[in-house]
Amino acid sequence: MTEIIKPTMVDYTRHLLVCVGEHCSDNNAGQALYDQLKDKLKESGLNEGTLRVKRSRASCFGTCKSGPLICVQPDGVWYYDVTSEKLDRIIKEHLLGGVPVTDYIYHQGPGATI
């Protein structure tokens, strides 16, 4: 019988889920934003250490249109129509500053603490 090895994960403070679904945005904009996020997190110092932010792709949030969409957990904050410039503001104000960018929020879940 094959032994199942328990996975490990580096600690993180927030988890960003980026919708890359085909009905969310045109021209694979969600995937492009996800790809940019890696460099933007590194430039902001959020790719390692105590402020590390984890990023993951999601195939569908079930709230199609107006993408790219990003969900910030555990904050329960959902952003819509996220461009590269808007992402810069989200990183600066929300991820680094702790204050969500209300101009871009379309939903706050039950876990919303901010």
Cβ atoms of 44 and 89 closer than 8 Å: no
All domains in the chain, ordered by first residue: 14-108 (3.40.30.10)
Model pLDDT for residues 28-79, shown as the tens digit of each residue: 899 999 999 999 999 999 999 999 999 999 998 888 778 899 999 999 999 9
Rounded-to-integer distance, Cα 104 and Cα 80, Å: 6
- pLDDT tens digit sequence for 41-51: 999 999 999 99
pTM: 0.90
The mean of the pLDDT values for the chain is 92
**Could you tell me where the beta strands, DSSP code E, fall in 20-104?**
53-58, 70-73, 77-79
- Residue-level pLDDT at 112: 67
Q: What is the model's pLDDT at position 79? A: 97
